Amino acid sequence: MDIFSNRPLYDPSAVQFMRDELTAIGFDELFTPEDVDRAINTNNDETVLVFINSVCGCAAGSARPGFSKALQNERIPNRITTVFAGQEKAAVARVRDHWLNGQPPSSPSAALFKNGELVFMVHRHEIERHDADEIAEHVKTLFDQHCTGVGPSVPAEHLFQVNHAKTCGSKIPKYEG
């Protein structure tokens, strides 16, 4: 097996619900390196959040719900996007290798960009051992400091209908297709 292929690590249907948690609240998915470049390489003084999604338990239990709650803030990024580690490998590699300026690989994680420059990054180690509310409060503070977009990303009643997964990625079957 070629571990460096661009084939998804997990069966796409098995992780779809993890994608849906983010797209339901306004995230745009970036599938290719070109999508990544178009999203980040802007010069319009607007902010772009790139959330590196993951199947790991801390993503399910804390990161996705925490960022979802943070996007209820009055100030949010102008654009919210996501790539999925282990799924769109080339897109994730483009974010990490080209745009994150030497930051260590980390998923789940999130990076905020303005005019193509990294403004801040929330690493996995800042997510682990924190619940969704703690993450949301931390991220809202960062949004207040750096963002000009108007929140929330979706009405609160819509957010409350989103079912956040509480599952560990180790239970998701590897993709054999």
Catalytic-role residue among 25, 48, 56, 63:
56
Beta-strand pair 28-29/117-122: unpaired
147 included as an active-site residue: no
Contact at 8 Å (CB) between 31 and 90? no
Q: What are phi and psi of 28, to 5 degrees?
A: -95, 135
Catalytic-role residue among 48, 50, 55, 58: 58
Which residues are 120's β-sheet partners? Answer: 112
Tell me the residue type at 167. T
Is 56 one of the annotated active-site residues of the chain?
yes
Helix (H) or strand (E) holding 28, with range, is: strand 28-29
First vs last C-alpha separation in the chain:
12
Pairing of strands 109-114, 117-122: antiparallel
**Which residues are known catalytic residues?**
56, 58
